[in-house]
């Protein structure tokens, strides 16, 4: 009897190790498929900053800078920022596409500026809802929330928020001056084509798929689409082929 119990325990431990190995293998493959761009100018008035596997973006307006996301490490982001000949103090506002650490942890560098995030992200920000079983903590930085489809005029720029739930409930795209679209972790961009983001990191991939279809109907005037982990493209309509209304 004792031997049988021991055998079952060993089988259970074996299965747990197998499941964990598969999870981490999947994670590695997902991370490997990502392709952030090196720090530098990526479009007229737009600069990418690379911090590990993620990009955050600086946009230069007529009267100041705006950040889309903040990267993972404030010290590294500061160095990259200065390598672009700019000063983080010039940043007038920070917009977060969502609350994940790789987008939010550079926030202390911009503590002088308001940090905006969707009100739909509140369950994660307050710690009421957990991202992963091992990631449940209230958001560490001061923030202001915006409602879905809000708009801002800051630094001489016009910024519209487009709700894009799925990756997280409050995931948001930002449309700047009607032509630059920042999508955060709403989508992947592989060989120039839009697809779902890496599913292991999505809270609701079905919802994300709906958000991508919704976004596809709003890209008529978009000149460049910037993702947070997969680079950017100026062939925006081609990128969304497969997600357009008449492709269903």
Q: How far is CA 58 from the centre of its chain?
A: 14
In the complex with Zn ion, the residue whose CB is nearer, 102 or 208, is 102
Cα(114)–Cα(9) distance, rounded to whole angstroms? 53
How many residues bind Zn ion (CB under 5 A)? The answer is: 2
Task: Pick the binder of Zn ion from 125, 185, 186, 240 (CB under 5 A).
Answer: 185
- Cα–Cα distance for residue pair 158/174, rounded to 1 Å: 10
Query: Closest distance between Zn ion and the C-beta of residue 53, in Å?
Result: 8
DSSP H helices in the chain: 2-32, 74-83, 101-104, 122-125, 205-216, 236-239
Closer residue to Zn ion (CB): 80 or 185:
185
Instruction: State in angstroms the smallest separation of the CB of 228 from Zn ion.
Output: 5
Q: Three-class SS string for 25-87?
A: HHHHHHHHCCCCCCCEEEECCEEEEEECCEEEEEEEECCEEEEECCCCCHHHHHHHHHHCCCC
Q: How far is the CB of 203 from Zn ion (least distance, A)?
A: 12
Answer yes or no whether residue 51 interacts with Zn ion by CB under 5 A. Answer: no
Closest approach of Zn ion to the CB of residue 4, in Å? 46
Closer to Zn ion by CB, 102 or 121: give it: 102
State how far the Cα of 187 lies from the Cα of 90, in Å rounded to an integer.
30
CB of 185 or CB of 208, closer to Zn ion: 185
Q: Which residue, 136 or 237, is less far from Zn ion as judged by CB?
A: 136
Q: From the list 51, 102, 121, 208, which residue makes contact with Zn ion (rule: CB under 5 A)?
A: 102
**Residue 137: strand, helix, or coil:** coil
- Token readout for 3 is 């031997």
Instruction: State in angstroms the smallest separation of the CB of 100 from Zn ion.
Output: 5
What is the spatial order of strands in the sheet that 180-182 belongs to? Answer: 151-154, 157-163, 172-176, 180-182, 224-226, 232-233
> Residue 65's CB: how many other CB atoms inside 10 A?
25
Pick the piece of the chain touching Zn ion (CB under 5 A) from 73-81, 128-136, 184-192, 234-242.
184-192
Q: Which stretch binds Zn ion (CB under 5 A): 19-27, 29-37, 62-70, 180-188?
A: 180-188
Stretch of 95-103, 110-118, 132-140, 189-197 contacting Zn ion, by CB under 5 A = 95-103
> Which residue, 60 or 229, has its beta carbon nearer to Zn ion?
229
- Interface residues with Zn ion (CB under 5 A) are 102, 185
């Amino acid at each position: 009897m004792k031997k049988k119990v021991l055998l079952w325990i060993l089988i259970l431990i074996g299965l747990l190790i197998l499941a964990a190995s598969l999870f981490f293998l999947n994670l590695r493959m997902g991370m490997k498929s990502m392709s952030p761009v090196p720090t530098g100018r990526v479009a007229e008035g737009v600069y990418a900053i690379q911090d590990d596997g993620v990009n955050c973006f600086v946009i230069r307006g007529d009267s100041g800078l705006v950040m889309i996301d903040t990267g993972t490490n404030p010290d590294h982001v500061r160095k990259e920022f200065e390598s672009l000949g700019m000063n983080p103090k010039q940043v007038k506002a920070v917009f977060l596409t969502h609350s994940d650490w790789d987008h939010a942890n550079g926030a202390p560098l911009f503590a002088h500026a308001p940090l905006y995030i969707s009100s739909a992200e509140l369950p994660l920000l307050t710690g009421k809802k957990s991202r992963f079983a091992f990631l449940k903590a209230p958001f560490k930085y001061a923030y202001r929330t915006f409602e879905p489809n809000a708009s801002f005029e800051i630094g001489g720029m016009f910024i519209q928020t487009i709700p894009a739930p799925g990756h997280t409930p409050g995931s948001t795209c930002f449309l700047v001056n009607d032509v630059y679209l920042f999508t955060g972790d709403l989508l992947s961009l592989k060989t120039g084509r839009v697809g779902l983001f890496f599913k292991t990191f999505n809270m609701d991939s079905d919802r994300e798929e709906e958000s991508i279809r919704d976004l596809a109907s709003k890209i008529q005037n978009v000149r460049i689409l910037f993702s947070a982990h997969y680079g950017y493209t100026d062939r925006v309509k081609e990128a969304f082929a497969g997600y357009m209304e008449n492709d269903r």
